[in-house]
Amino acid sequence: MSKRSIEIWVGVFVSAGIAALIMIAMQVSNLSSMSTGNTYQVKAVFENIGSLNVRSPIKASGVLVGRVSDISYDDQHYAATVTLSIKSHVKFPKDTSASIYTAGLLGEQYIGLTPGADEEYLAEGDTIMFADAAIILEKLVGQMMLNKLSD
């Protein structure tokens, strides 16, 4: 086995391996759908976030526009502060409202944005005024039972 053909084979091996890695990363995992471009951060305060996660999707009219980048608990207001990273080419009015929805009955939770009518746009560091808490299934069931009882 000459030195040159060893080098060629090693070259083939390494590039096949890297190609496989890239194929898996782009084609199989969600890397390609993850925003890799520039984003701007806005905050939203929710009374309850349910099972929202860091990297949960943010959608507007069902289209992915960003991801949750941070979740923390604010002990001044006793509420959850969620940081939303939104693709910088997507603009939303100042009075946009955010709600936490569930995809399907038992699917993952995501933040849905509903644009308002303000002239000005949300910018880096702003806080979304209107934020609806997550719908907690247990609460809902409890409420329904209460309603039934009081009927």
Residues in the site for another protein, rule: CB under 8 A?
1, 6-7, 9-10, 12-14, 16-21, 23-25, 27-34, 51, 53, 55
User: Please, which residue, 17 or 142, has the CB nearer to another protein?
Assistant: 17
Question: Is the CB of 28 or the CB of 117 nearer to another protein?
Answer: 28
Whole-angstrom distance, CA of residue 40 vs CA of residue 51: 23
Q: State CA 143 to chain mean position distance.
A: 29
Residue number, 21 or 63, with CB nearest to another protein = 21
- How near is the Cβ of 104 to another protein at its closest, in Å? 12
Euclidean distance between CA atoms 61 and 150, whole angstroms? 37
| Residue indicated by tokens 């009927």 | 151
CB of 11 to another protein, least distance (A): 9
Q: How far is the CB of 93 from another protein (least distance, A)?
A: 30
CB neighbourhood size of 87 (10 A): 17
Q: How far is the CB of 102 from another protein (least distance, A)?
A: 15
Closest CA to 133 of 79, 58, 84: 79
